Chain A
């Protein structure tokens, strides 16, 4: 027998998948284009303090040594140093004044400190000399990445940075691609089987010598293949887009294709769930909702596992945790074990759906 059910499924579904592919491609190809803008912003922030080239800040023996250069045609009466906890200096307070071109300040741990040096001229006019900050002593990107919110996405890795294309894509695209594609697949797979119940197609289909197991297997294969196409086309566009902004060194073709390939069995797992719930509920709507519910729980477990110290085990019990795109993106390592594990999981879910479907009454 030919794989007629597989072919029909593709015939019915390819248009929808094409539209969905366009959406994913737009996102996967669009984000790399945003990278240079984002990177520029970070660089600006990095050397964004006004006149910072004239002011130096050094930490020494528990003290901060502030020194500056100042060239002006007028005569300087004194220098004033003011301090704030933000670069805008809106709530700045006076630290002290001096006629020298340096000042020693007590080093206190804690928030970032911003200093500004102002020259008070003989005619009492004030001329800014420049700014310096303790923040400069640290790596602002590393600090940003350490915030609890971003820790959700870094999977505890300190080499994942937004100012690197691979890290940027990890956070901007990969972290939620699962939800995007998963939601779509929950709907597609639940409707594929559940719709045949809802629309009373089961009687006609199963008056032919088609095995119920085979019916599920062919549908599963059809949707899996279309999903594969979505992932690979997206990888291709992402690769091109990354190359176009000159960042192939960070995220080349191999990383793009292999990282997305790793998601394939995860999505097969979602398709299997859609089928299982459709067989269980014998309808599309409930099955789609239930499948989406499982995805959401996985996502929440994943987030909670990364945010809440004691709950770190939570994310390891989700299938989602076994799509380790960061290994590919950052280390260039494809964890084949995870891939196989997800494949086995997907196969088990499909098998469960088959066993259930094989034995049940098809409602009239």
Chain B
């Protein structure tokens, strides 16, 4: 038992659906007490990764260890300690939500329904209604309550805020931060870039079944900074920008474009030796960074 190691440890995980590649040779660690965001275009393999961790899918090859246990052989023991919110789920339409949630609670071997009632109040979910009569957003809330009600130490969620109104989304982010403060580990996929930026500690980006990048959000934010574009009166030698903290340099004749992740002053002083025709500074957001993985083939 590696209580101090990663909570989730994915090594060379591959899952094929017949001829279709779901995920390919994925490596990812998720640490205790962090919120890990999982981004990627449609069909990239997020749901596949998550559902393989839960042993709902049989992996093709590789290894997943959760709490140091094997995701397949020790799946029962693991699921005792996991809360899961599926991306696409249903419940028993004819039964009241409370009955369904109590059933799921008892399956977890957890009898106290106090937290369930409290979560339902917090997210304004009426437990007396039949599940089938709920709106999409309220069904999603039932799923959220279900994932957290047994107080599990690891929560895995597939697009948790889908269908929630903006107010509820904010309430949910606040709730996630509280959960993290209590030492919970959270792994969640998302299509909402701002959401990942707002609540996650780290982000993993997957594209075409392969992991592209894993980064700390604050490190990314630091790096992001600004995009500087300068037009000179004649061709410029790229070596001018040989400065620490200047990244993604693109020089095209008289034009240069770069990301400034250092003090802007350094750069301005260096280029002042040349004649500048035009100069523009743009703040480059995390959104734009993420977007590069969605739009550009091959990713960033």
Do chains A and B interact in one complex? yes
Query: Which A positions have Cβ atoms within 8 angstroms of B?
Result: 1-2, 4-5, 8, 11-12, 199-211, 359-362, 364
| Cβ distance B79 to chain A, nearest Cβ, rounded Å | 4
Taking a contact as CB atoms closer than 8 A, the residue among A2, A11, A204, A207 that contacts B91 in the complex is A204
Closest 3 CB pairs of A and B: A207-B84, A208-B107, A203-B86
B57 CB contacts on chain A under 8 angstroms: 361-362
Residue of B17, B82, B90, B93 near A207 (CB, 8 A) is B82
8 contacts between A and B (CB under 8 A): A199-B93, A200-B90, A203-B88, A207-B82, A208-B79, A362-B51, A364-B51, A364-B86
Contact with A along B49-79 (1 / 0, CB 8 A): 0010011111000000000000000001101
B106→A2 contact, CB < 8 A: yes
The answer to the question of B29 belonging to the interface, with a C-beta cut-off of 8 Å to chain A, is no
- List B contacts of A362 (CB < 8 A): 51, 56-57
B residues neighboring A (CB under 8 Å): 17, 47, 51, 54-58, 76-77, 79-80, 82-84, 86-95, 99, 103-104, 106-109, 143, 146-147
Q: Is the CB of B108 within 8 A of A202?
A: no
| Partner pick for B146 among A200, A204, A209, CB 8 A cutoff | A204
What is the number of contacts between chain A and chain B, taking CB atoms within 8 Å?
86
Q: Which of A4, A359, A361 contacts B103 (CB 8 A)?
A: A4
Q: Are A364 and B87 in contact (CB under 8 A)?
A: yes
Note all chain A residues with C-beta closer than 8 A to B86: 200, 203-204, 207, 364
Residues of A within 8 A of B91 (CB): 199, 201, 204
Contact between B90 and A199 (Cβ–Cβ < 8 Å)? yes
Determine the chain A residues whose CB is within 8 A of the CB of B108 once the complex forms: 208-209
Q: How far is the CA of A112 from the CA of B51 in the complex (A)?
A: 76
**Using Cβ atoms and an 8 Å threshold, which residues of chain A touch B58?**
359-361
B92 and A12 contacting across the interface, CB-CB below 8 Å:
yes
List the A side residues contacting B103 at CB < 8 Å: 4-5, 8
Could you say which residues of chain A place their CB within 8 Å of the CB of B107? 1, 4-5, 205, 208-210
Determine which residue in B54, B89, B94 has the highest number of CB atoms from chain A within 10 A of its CB, and name it: B89
What residues of chain A lie closer than 8 Å to B56, measured between beta carbons?
202-203, 206, 361-362, 364
Q: How far is the CB of A250 from chain B (nearest CB, A)?
A: 44
Asked whether A206 lies within 8 Å of B95 as measured between CB atoms, the reply is no
